[in-house]
Amino acid sequence: MKTSAFAQFAPEIVSQLRNYGKLMRVDKPIGIWLLLWPTLWALWLAGEGAPDQGLFAVLVIGVFVMRSAGCVLNDFADRKIDPYVERTRTRPLATGAVAPLEALTLFTALGLIAIGLATMLNKQAQILAVVGAALTIIYPFIKRYMSIPQFVLGLAFGWGVPMAFAAQTGETPELAWLVFGIALVWAIIYDTFYAMVDREDDRKIGVKSTAVLFGEVDLFVIAGLQLVMILGLLFVGFRAELGFWYYLSVACATAMMAWHLWLARDRQAAGCFEAFLKNHQIGLVVFIGIVLHYTFNPTP
């Protein structure tokens, strides 16, 4: 019996689909969590514990799509740099497993899905979505020109906050921008831990980052940013009139921040990377605190 053409090519198709998945970082969901938690903080605060179910689905899917699109574009921009960095040299574009044109086609497809999701939002949220898309496109290229590309990453990763408020309530109040500011500071914290892993390689090839900029005072600066984030979270609790469960979550998040500093105390790559990976747990803990507050203190 002759083997069908599909059976012959199926392994190659599956293998290439896996490469596309790796390009989208499907196998490394940490970025999804870091993008998702601030968005969900905002959605629950905007909906006072009872957000719109359809909106919840759209934003969660949107987080996955936009994070995937950002990863694809980032690897396209870094395709000539990644082969020289220990941590990134096995990425699909760096190894040639995926061609640049394939990456751009995949990015376009993800972008079209994102546009389709945006059409389900109200007009103000759609306008904010355009800004978010621009930030996603800008970030991969900014590291060549700015010493603090983590700031731009923070703008992109926090932009789901005003979008969630706008989509849920039709406006972006002061509370929305306060939460956005916290998400921005948090992104600089965890992405500095991440950049500390590649600091020596980045110095050699001229890539800019906060890890390079902060140098020997990196942990001191991170500690200062953590303090700013904690104060911001406390202020959010005050402005949104949150209660015990929320403040307990902030206390837990504070302890976790101290632990992350301890993990990175020797500035070794393994410790810094672990501190980065575990940062999403802070977002989870804060979200749990918000949910528990509205569960046990429902809005009349």
Q: Per-residue pLDDT tens for 98-135?
A: 899 999 999 999 999 999 999 999 999 999 999 999 99
Single-letter amino acid code for the residue at 271: G
Q: Looking at the predicted structure, is the pLDDT value of residue 141 above 90? A: no
Q: Looking at the predicted structure, is the pLDDT value of residue 261 above 60? A: yes
What's the pTM? Answer: 0.91
Q: Looking at the predicted structure, is the pLDDT value of residue 10 above 90? A: no
Q: Looking at the predicted structure, is the pLDDT value of residue 271 above 60? A: yes
Q: Looking at the predicted structure, is the pLDDT value of residue 5 above 60? A: no
The DSSP 8-state label assigned to residue 97 in this structure reads S
- Work out the average pLDDT over 207-223: 89
The residue with greater pLDDT, 122 or 142, is 122
Q: Looking at the predicted structure, is the pLDDT value of residue 197 above 70? A: yes
Tell me what pLDDT residue 148 has. Answer: 81
Among 49, 45, 52, which Cα is nearest to 239's? 45
Pairwise CA distance, residues 219 & 4, whole Å: 59
Pairwise CA distance, residues 101 & 230, whole Å: 44
Of all residues in the chain, what percent are helix, strand and coil, respectively (each to 5)? 80, 0, 20
Q: Which domains are delineated in the chain?
A: 17-296 (1.10.357.140)
- Work out the average pLDDT over 267-287: 96
Provide the Cα torsion 284, 289, 291, 295; round to 10°: 150
pLDDT band for position 16 (50/70/90)?
confident
Pairwise CA distance, residues 257 & 42, whole Å: 21
Tell me what pLDDT residue 213 has. Answer: 86
Query: Among 71-75, 87-91, 122-126, 282-286, whose mean pLDDT is lowest?
Result: 87-91
